[in-house]
Every structure is written in C-alpha cells, then in structure tokens.
Amino acid sequence: MIIPKCFKGMVVAFACIAVPCLNHAAGEPATAAAARAEVTRAQEAVAAAQARGALWTTARDALRTAQAALQAGDHDAAVKAARFAAQQAQLGIDQLAYPRFPE
C-alpha cells in the first residue's frame, strides 16, 4: 500500500498512540512490572533517537518524568509518561525522513 508523504506522519503518530493501548486495559491500574516495561521501552526509544541525532526535548523530559514516577511508585503516571516519551522519540526519528526543504 502506498501512502502519500503528507499522511505518513499521521499514520505513524496514530500507531504510536494506539498500539501501546492494546497492552493495558482501560480503567485498570498499571502494575509495577508493566510500568517498568514501559519505562524500559521508552529508554530504548529515546536512546535510539539520540543515537540518530533526532531526540526531541519532549521525549527526554517525558522519560525523566516517567522514571521519577516509577521511583515514586506512581505506576499509572509512569506508564503514561513513558508511552509519550516513546512516541515523541519515534516521531523525532521519523522526522529524519522528511524532505529538508520543499521540493
């Protein structure tokens, strides 16, 4: 399936938001293990973005928030911030594929 360039970012953004939600039922509190897993995934995503020179400050800040929430035992906040960090890191990487200047 060919997706026009203008829609690629929207498709990626939706996938980053929708897919993680499938792993956590709505309304159920996050467990410590789930929070640790999400923070680990976010750490990996942020590291990948940083390695490619595509790290957004929103990803970095959200990861810090997730780590602090995890340490404080606020698992729901940790999961929410970690997912946002991973999403922002992926969008930073995806942005590298955009044309630098209009063609």
More confident residue, 76 or 23: 76
Give the chain's largest Cα–Cα span.
Answer: 49
Output helix, strand, coil percentages for the chain, rounded to the nearest 5: 70, 0, 30
pLDDT tens track for 33-76? 999 999 999 999 999 999 999 999 999 999 999 999 999 999 99
Task: Identify the burial level of 88 via C-beta atoms within 10 angstroms of its C-beta, where 0-12 means exposed, 13-18 middle and 19 or more buried.
Answer: buried
pLDDT, tens digit, 9 for 90 and up, residues 68-101: 999 999 999 999 999 999 999 999 999 999 988 8
Query: If you average pLDDT over residues 14-39, what whole number do you get?
Result: 72
